[in-house]
Amino acid sequence: MKNEEECLYCSRNKKQKDLMIEIADLGVSTLFLFKEQSYRGRCVLAYKDHVNSFYELSEENRNLFMNDVSKVANVLNALYHPDKINFGFFSDKLPHLHVHIVPKYIDKTSWGMPFLMNPNKVYMSEKGLNEKVDNLKGYFL
Question: Which residues are paired to 67 by β-bridges?
Answer: none
Residue type, 81: H
Nearest to 119 by CA among 136, 134, 105, 137: 105
pLDDT for the residue numbered 3? 64
Q: Which fold has domain 8-140?
A: HIT family, subunit A (3.30.428)
Give the pLDDT of residue 1. 44
pTM of the full structure: 0.91
Rounded to 10°, the helix 59-80/126-140 angle is 130
What pLDDT tens digit does each residue of the chain (141 aa) get?
456 668 989 988 898 999 999 999 999 999 999 999 999 999 999 999 999 999 999 999 999 999 999 999 999 999 999 999 999 998 778 889 999 999 999 999 899 998 888 777 888 888 989 999 999 999 987
What pLDDT, on the 0 to 100 scale, is given for residue 93?
A: 80
Domain boundaries, the chain: 8-140
Output the pLDDT for position 2. 52
